[in-house]
Structure 1
Amino acid sequence: MRPNSSRHVIASVSAVLLVLSSNGLAAQGLSYPLVDTMQDACYDLTGATITCPAEGAALYGQDSQHPRLAAAYIDNGDGSVQDENTGLLWQKTPQYDRMQYAEALDYCEDLDLAGHSDWRVPSIKELYSLADFRGELLKPEEGTPTPYIDTSVFDFQYPDGLPFAGQYWSSTLYVKGPVMNGRNQGAFGFNFADGHIKAYGTGLDFYTGGDAVNSGLPNGPADGKAPGNYVRCVHGQEDVYGVNQFENNGDGTVIDAATGRMWQQADDGIRREWADALAYCEALELGGHDDWYLPNSKELQSIVDYRRTGFPAIDETVFALTRDAESLDFWTSTTFGDFKNYANVIAFGKALSKAGEQTEYIDWHGAGAQRSSIKTIVGQDMTEATTCSVNACDYNRSDNLVRCVR
């Protein structure tokens, strides 16, 4: 486990440099520093908390066993929070009224806060930098839930009556096609209540740009409009954080100079359950290196190509990806906080779900979504409680693809 698991970590410059030195780069040389998930415990395949395994043992290589750049925030006392790692300035107290996508853009553009008038809606990679995977959404009888954000510096409220519906907009539109009902335009957001990325209906039709006919949600608002999301505005230069600088090394590896991470250039095409995915990366020898590991959620999401109009959601000029199904989910080492017998996955293909009268799975959440998959189906089953929300039931499988990192 990490020696410091407090909700608020102020990292010194020397600590930042120490963490990043493992990748051979100084902190100031990174335009896309990846903030750690802050997950600080290990779990078995059934979701029980365990003593973190020793190197070489089964289930070694979990998120908390490869700590990276600890979150570092400063509350400026003027309604803003400075992220010491990314350089981004955040709105401390979000707008607690749900907004349509266009309304959120206007709200941030009009915001005057902390001496700045050039606020904006963050990109999905900027927004995801705030995710804290010590979060867990609990039922009242199970205890007090913990949001997927550091509430020692950021204000957060669970919605009345819908504690799972803590969705926040990003500016990143889903450009590969419609979501939910095969017509609606989507924009990505992160749910700080239940720890997922997905595309949400903007209120517009993907094909015509006009108003959407309905929300696409079987339990959506009675007027048929998209329910909207919350927004937390950001200040900082656009199109810097979250922009990759890939180079194919020609030895089966790809370096991203923006994050300092080296990646396995091509997955091996073999689907594995979570334990085997962890073991595969820990044992990998590639490009003259033997210190590979299964990436955490933020690391793997960092290589998603959200601007590409086709599938898969990755830059195929530098990466190779197995296309053996519509759903191309890749494992991460991050256990899903709400159901700890699941681990997070990043969807590079369609993020499938179905709802209402739909008989076939469709691209409900969008390629680039972060969902979760059951770690194993040995001795346990997927249930509606873990795969379904009030609106849809996700397609889920225990064998996913793997791409390692170092």
Structure 2
Amino acid sequence: MKDVVRPASTAALLLRVLLIVSLAGAAQGQIIDGRFQDHGNGTLTDQQTGLTWMRCSLGQQWNGVSCSGGASRHTWDNAMTLAQGLEFAGHTDWRLPTRDELNTIVHCSSDQRSGFNSNGYGGHCLGNFLKPTVLAAAFPNTPDTWYWSSSNYGTSNVNAWVVGSGDGALSGSYRSTPLRVRMVRGGH
């Protein structure tokens, strides 16, 4: 008896398509590390803070699985201006996060972090920790370098707070220095 290969019926084909679509939808609603709700569009919401983050740094592109391409560098003034006209994932209210907001996504895999001095500097990850110091499943391919916050450093008009994804530290930097940027929405 000869094997006969028959084309799949329309119903069987439709069932396969629905299964694939439902699996993709399941990934969209996935909770990462018990904390971040993945929206499937390059954004996720931190269930602890209510903030919605871009998963990729500016300059990178979300490809449905990860962030690809190189993260661009911007001066503080340029980053603030870019946020004002940014449209992403159907939203136009993106902004540069505050120092405290950006600090909420620092993840020291060693579960050890230094304290902060009286000026607010510090917070370095201690011990044997992974770089970058953000949760890679939530923020894939994040460069381990400094990121701008929207927060002024004290009363200075030339410095702003930055957070390092190389060691989790908070510090200040000249606003004219080109650094990386990750946008957020919500909160305040």
Bin for the TM-score computed over the shorter chain: 0.5 to 0.7
SS at match of 2:148: strand
Aligned length: 123
In the alignment, structure 1 segments of 5+ residues that lack a partner are: 1-242, 350-366, 377-397
- How high is the TM-score relative to the length of structure 1? 0.29
CA separation in 2, counterparts of 1:346 and 1:296? Answer: 10
SS at match of 1:312: coil
CA separation in 2, counterparts of 1:253 and 1:322? Answer: 14
CA separation in 1, counterparts of 2:172 and 2:140? Answer: 23
Q: Which residue of 1 aligns with 2:29?
A: none
Letter of the 1:370 counterpart = L
**Equivalent residues of 1:273, 1:399 under 8 A apart:** yes
**Equivalent residues of 1:297, 1:332 under 8 A apart:** yes
Mapped pair 1:404 → 2:168: no
Q: Which residue of 1 aligns with 2:139?
A: 319
Alignment of 1:209-248 (within 5 A): 245-248=35-38
Q: Please point out which of 293, 302, 305 is paired with 2:104.
A: 302
CA separation in 1, counterparts of 2:38 and 2:174? Answer: 33
Measured after TM superposition, the shift of residue 373 of structure 1 is 0.9
| Pair 247,401 (structure 1): closer, same or farther in 2 beyond 3 Å | same
CA separation in 2, counterparts of 1:244 and 1:298? Answer: 21
**Equivalent residues of 2:153, 2:161 under 8 A apart:** yes
Q: Which residue of 1 aligns with 2:147?
A: 330
Q: CA RMSD in A?
A: 1.8
**Equivalent residues of 1:244, 1:259 under 8 A apart:** no
Q: Please point out which of 82, 85, 108 is paired with 1:280.
A: 82
**Equivalent residues of 1:285, 1:292 under 8 A apart:** yes
CA separation in 1, counterparts of 2:93 and 2:35? Answer: 22
Q: Which residue of 1 aligns with 2:117?
A: none
| Sequence identity percentage | 32
Measured after TM superposition, the shift of residue 340 of structure 1 is 3.3
Greater than 3 Å deviation, 4+ residue runs: none
**Equivalent residues of 2:136, 2:142 under 8 A apart:** no
SS at match of 1:278: helix
Alignment of 1:362-381 (within 5 A): 367-376=167-176
Q: Which residue of 2 aligns with 1:342?
A: 159
Q: Which residue of 2 aligns with 1:258?
A: 48
Measured after TM superposition, the shift of residue 307 of structure 1 is 2.7
Letter of the 2:74 counterpart = R
Alignment of 1:91-110 (within 5 A): none
CA separation in 2, counterparts of 1:341 and 1:288? Answer: 33
CA separation in 1, counterparts of 2:157 and 2:100? Answer: 18
Higher share of residues assigned helix: 2
Measured after TM superposition, the shift of residue 314 of structure 1 is 0.4
**Equivalent residues of 2:102, 2:149 under 8 A apart:** yes
Post-superposition CA distance 1:375-404 (Å, at most 9, x none): 11xxxxxxxxxxxxxxxxxxxxx0100000
Post-superposition CA distance 1:297-327 (Å, at most 9, x none): 001000110235210000111112443xxx6
- How high is the TM-score relative to the length of structure 2? 0.61
Post-superposition CA distance 1:210-250 (Å, at most 9, x none): xxxxxxxxxxxxxxxxxxxxxxxxxxxxxxxxx97112211
SS at match of 2:101: helix
CA separation in 1, counterparts of 2:108 and 2:140? Answer: 17
In the alignment, structure 2 segments of 5+ residues that lack a partner are: 1-32, 60-70, 111-128
CA separation in 2, counterparts of 1:254 and 1:322? Answer: 15
| Pair 344,244 (structure 1): closer, same or farther in 2 beyond 3 Å | farther
Higher relative contact order (CA 8 A, sep 6+): 2
SS at match of 2:161: strand
CA separation in 1, counterparts of 2:34 and 2:103? Answer: 11
Post-superposition CA distance 1:41-99 (Å, at most 9, x none): xxxxxxxxxxxxxxxxxxxxxxxxxxxxxxxxxxxxxxxxxxxxxxxxxxxxxxxxxxx
Q: Which residue of 1 aligns with 2:113?
A: none
